[in-house]
């Protein structure tokens, strides 16, 4: 699993940090999402999926494995 | 349970569908929406879509590929017209009926309009098409009046002003966003608009719209003055879209009345703007028109439909972006709550504040302070005692202008 965030769409709600604090943080000055790891460990997959669902700006995606390979 | 129908194909309906599939339910799923467009996001409509910072295409919530993966029978552009609870059927406008074993209602809200407002130049803003029509009108360089200074009205005014247009914001209450934030924060929002050159007429209701030959020409206020306008945006609230449920037997009272599990009747659930439910965290019934709630409640309603039996008891979250300012809030904000600044300084545009009601913190607000606000959310989650909330900064001053005499007495805590 690879995580992609769009900082331009992000509205700094922080829902992702509440849901998966190991994967997401916010910039101090404006709260925009910061990705702590692009490829979180397997046991965090459900949390990241939940964060993508709850993001009110739809600024988080999970790239599936096959898509990653296609992009390479 | 072989068939589930979801009425409403916006954020809540789409999320409900994705939740059902994501949890492995593989029965026949019908997703019904009254708009012909595929599901799209609404918060950008009053912001980036109006100003042109974002294209309409970028408001789309899912790609055609992702929608196809839902394996749902998509009925877009087909408004539901009636619900037959006993026979488990939804009637569509085209005369068709959709059978279901379980149903999720997510039909949202419909904008209210002022009487006699069916005029050229008068706009409401709920749909993407509304936003595109308003943007086209704004590009002609009109004089703009926004009626109603809630979140939608203040955002539309800010967007139009950002486009360089002359904008007047008209509001019967003494300050903008008084509901839910109260007089002091409302006064700060008023200042924010004035600093950016938006004129405010607060404390004065609209008496009627003026027009010539079917084209709006201005707004007549309760004090007899008339403000000229080429475009008038009505942002005077909205009503739950429950007309199609009249006579269904479901309880309707400011939305679809649900229990703590988002359930309106056996096998029938509601989510998003249209749903009124009992939030056990705050021990109160609520209905929220917040983007985040649409998603969270859809997840909860779909989960309970599948048997979770978990009360939906969220701490509400919402935000508004106006000019260069982002205001965010967690919780609820009763009209008689006390307000205390927790950090920062309202006079320099960055602070956090807490709202206390009946001895506990019920809400926290951040003004250009997203990261810090998130850490304060726990005060609401934990129902922190109001006596433990300390002030480190000054309380926002009341507006020192003509709005002042209209401010009704209210408890303002230690700084009143």
- CB-based contact A18 B319, cutoff 8 Å: no
Alpha-carbon separation of residue B72 from B9, B23, B294 (angstroms):
11, 15, 20
pLDDT at B400: 40
A15 touches chain B (CB under 8 A): yes
Reported as a pLDDT band with limits 50, 70 and 90, residue B353 is very high
Q: What confidence tens digit (pLDDT) does each residue in B126-169 have?
A: 999 999 999 999 999 999 999 999 999 999 999 999 999 999 99
Annotate B261-330 with three-state secondary structure: CCEEECCEEECHHHEEEEECCCCEEECCCCHHHHHHHHHHHHHHHCCCCCCCCCCCEEEEEECCEEEEEE
Which band of pLDDT confidence, cut at 50, 70 and 90, is reported for residue B396? low
Q: Is a pLDDT exceeding 70 seen at residue B239?
A: yes
| Chain A residue numbers touching B377 (CB-CB < 8 A) | 18
Cβ separation of B317 and A15 shorter than 8 Å? Answer: yes
First to last CA, chain B: 57
Mean pLDDT of B316-323: 97
Q: Is the pLDDT of residue B409 over 70?
A: no
- CA atoms of A64 and B70, how far apart (whole Å): 16
**Is B399 a residue whose pLDDT tops 50?**
no
Rounded Cα distance, B219 and B143, in Å: 12
Note whether A27 contacts B: Cβ–Cβ < 8 A.
yes
Chain A residue whose CA is closest to B315: A15
pLDDT confidence bin for A65, thresholds 50/70/90: low
Mutate to test the interface with B, among A13, A47, A61, A64 (most CBs of B within 10 A): A13
Quote the ipTM score. Answer: 0.87
Chain B residues with CB under 8 Å of A70 CB are none
Higher pLDDT, B106 or B94: B106
Burial of A63 (0-12, 13-18, 19+ CB in 10 A): middle
Asked if B361 and B354 count as a contact pair (C-beta separation under 8 A), the reply is yes
Residue A1 pLDDT class (50, 70, 90 cuts):
confident
Q: Are A31 and B43 within 8 A, CB to CB?
A: no
Give A37-51 pLDDT, tens digit per residue: 999 999 999 999 999
Residues 103-142 of B with CB under 8 A from A: none
Domain that holds residue A38: 2-67
Question: Domain containing A51 — which CATH number?
Answer: 3.30.70.20
Interface touch A17/B374, C-beta < 8 Å: yes
Q: Is B364 helix (H, G, I), strand (E, B) or coil?
A: strand
CA dist B120 and B131 (Å) reads 15
Q: Please report the pLDDT score of residue B94 as a whole number.
A: 86
Mean pLDDT in chain B?
Answer: 93
Look at A56 and B374 and tell me if their CB atoms are within 8 Å: no
**Where does the pLDDT of residue B286 fall: very low under 50, low under 70, confident under 90, or very high at 90 and above?**
very high
- What mean pLDDT is predicted for residues B51-67? 95
Is residue B395 predicted with pLDDT exceeding 90?
no
Three-state SS at B377 = helix
Q: Does A63 touch chain B (CB under 8 A)?
A: no
Nearest to B374 among A14, A30, A54 (CB): A14
Q: Confidence class of residue B290 from pLDDT cuts 50, 70 and 90?
A: very high
B371 in reach of chain A (CB within 8 A): yes
Dist. CA B165–CA B179, nearest whole Å: 26
Could you give the 3-state DSSP secondary structure of residue B126? coil
Q: In this complex, do A58 and B61 lie within 8 Å of one another by their Cβ atoms?
A: yes
Provide the residue ranges of all domains of chain B, joining segments of one domain with +. Answer: 3-110+239-305, 113-236, 324-415
Q: Contact B292/A13, CB-based, under 8 Å?
A: yes
pLDDT tens column, B199-220: 999 999 999 999 999 999 999 9
Interface contacts A/B by beta carbons within 8 Å: 57
Q: What is the pLDDT of residue B92?
A: 97
B21 and A CB contact within 8 Å: no
Place of tokens 């999926």: A49
The torsion region of residue B224 among left (phi > 0), alpha (psi -120 to 50) and beta comes to left
Is residue A33 in a domain?
A: yes
pLDDT at B394 over 60: no
3 state DSSP class of A17: helix
* Contact call for A26 and B374, based on CB within 8 A: yes
Q: How far is B235 from chain A (nearest CA, A)?
A: 22
Helix, strand, coil shares, percent, chain B, to 5? 30, 30, 40
Residues B59-77 have a mean pLDDT of: 96
Domain assignment present for residue A12? The answer is yes
Find out whether B154 and B176 touch, Cβ atoms under 8 Å: yes
Q: Does B374 touch chain A (CB under 8 A)?
A: yes
- Is the predicted pLDDT of residue B403 greater than 90, yes or no? no
Can you name the CATH fold of B324-415? Enolase-like; domain 1 (3.30.390)
B41 in reach of chain A (CB within 8 A): yes
Chain A residues in contact with B319 by the CB 8 A cut-off are 11-13, 56
A72: in domain? no
**A-interface mutation test, from B318, B352, B371, B377, most A Cβ less than 10 A away:** B371
Disruptive mutation site among A4, A12, A25, A70 for chain B (greatest number of B CBs within 10 Å):
A12
Interacting residues of B284 by C-beta distance below 8 A, sequence separation 6+: B278, B332
Residue B292 C-alpha, separation from nearest chain A C-alpha, in angstroms: 5
Q: Given the DSSP bridges, would you call strands B226-228 and B215-221 parallel, antiparallel or unpaired?
A: antiparallel
Q: How many domains does chain A have?
A: 1
Name the band, by pLDDT with cuts 50, 70 and 90, for residue B258: very high
- Pick from B326, B315, B336: nearest CA to B379: B315
How would residue A70 be classed by pLDDT, with cut points 50, 70 and 90?
very low
DSSP H or E segment with residue A62: strand A60-63
Of B156 and B406, the structure prediction assigns the larger pLDDT to B156
Q: What is the CATH number of domain B3-110+239-305?
A: 3.50.50.60
CATH class given for the domain over B113-236: alpha beta
What is the reported pLDDT for B392?
60
Dihedral, CA of residue B336, residue B327, residue B384 and residue B388, to nearest 10: -80
CA distance B159 to B47: 6
State whether A14 and B321 contact (CB < 8 Å).
Answer: no
């Amino acid at each position: 699993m690879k995580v992609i965030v769009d900082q331009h769409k992000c509205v700094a709600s922080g829902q992702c940090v509440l849901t998966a604090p190991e994967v997401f943080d916010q910039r101090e000055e404006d709260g925009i999402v910061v990705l702590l790891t692009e490829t979180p460990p397997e046991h965090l997959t459900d949390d990241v999926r939940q964060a993508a669902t709850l993001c009110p700006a739809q600024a988080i995606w999970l790239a599936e494995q096959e898509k990653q390979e296609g992009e390479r | 349970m072989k068939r589930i129908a979801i009425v409403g194909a916006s954020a809540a309906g789409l999320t409900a569908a994705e939740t059902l599939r994501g949890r492995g339910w593989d029965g026949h799923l019908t997703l019904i929406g009254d708009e012909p467009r595929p599901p799209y996001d609404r918060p950008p409509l009053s912001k980036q879509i109006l100003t042109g910072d974002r294209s309409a295409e970028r408001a789309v919530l899912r790609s055609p590929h992702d929608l196809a993966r839902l394996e749902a029978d998509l009925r877009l552009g087909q408004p539901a017209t009636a619900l037959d609870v006993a026979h488990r059927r939804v009637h569509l406008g085209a005369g068709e009926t959709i059978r279901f074993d379980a149903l999720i209602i997510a039909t949202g809200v419909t904008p209210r309009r002022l009487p006699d407002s069916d005029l050229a130049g008068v706009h409401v803003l709920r749909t993407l098409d509304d936003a595109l029509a308003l943007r086209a009108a704004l590009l002609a360089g009109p004089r703009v009046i926004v009626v109603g200074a809630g979140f939608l009205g203040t955002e539309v005014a800010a967007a139009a002003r950002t486009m360089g247009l002359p904008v007047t914001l008209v509001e019967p209450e003494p300050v903008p966003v008084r509901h839910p934030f109260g007089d002091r924060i409302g006064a700060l929002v008023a200042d924010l608009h004035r600093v950016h050159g938006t004129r405010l007429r607060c404390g004065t209701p609209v008496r009627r719209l003026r027009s010539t030959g079917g084209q709006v020409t201005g707004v007549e206020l309760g004090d007899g003055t008339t403000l000229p306008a080429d475009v008038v945006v009505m942002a005077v609230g909205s009503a739950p879209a429950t007309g199609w449920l009249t006579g269904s037997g479901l309880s309707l009272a400011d939305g679809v009345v649900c229990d703590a599990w988002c359930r309106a009747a056996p096998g029938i659930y509601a989510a998003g703007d249209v749903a009124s439910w009992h939030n056990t965290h705050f021990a109160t019934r609520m209905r929220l028109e917040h983007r985040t709630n649409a998603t969270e409640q859809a997840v909860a309603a779909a989960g309970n439909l599948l048997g979770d039996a978990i009360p939906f008891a969220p701490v509400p979250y919402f935000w508004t972006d106006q000019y260069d300012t982002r205001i965010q809030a967690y919780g609820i904000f009763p009209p008689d709550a006390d307000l205390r600044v927790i950090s920062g300084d309202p006079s320099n545009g960055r602070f956090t504040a807490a709202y206390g009601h009946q001895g506990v913190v019920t809400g926290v607000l951040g003004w250009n302070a997203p990261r810090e606000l998130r850490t304060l959310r726990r005060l609401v989650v934990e129902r922190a005692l109001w006596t433990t909330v300390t002030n480190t900064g000054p309380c926002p001053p009341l507006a020192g202008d003509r709005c002042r005499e209209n401010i009704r007495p209210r408890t303002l805590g230690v700084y009143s």
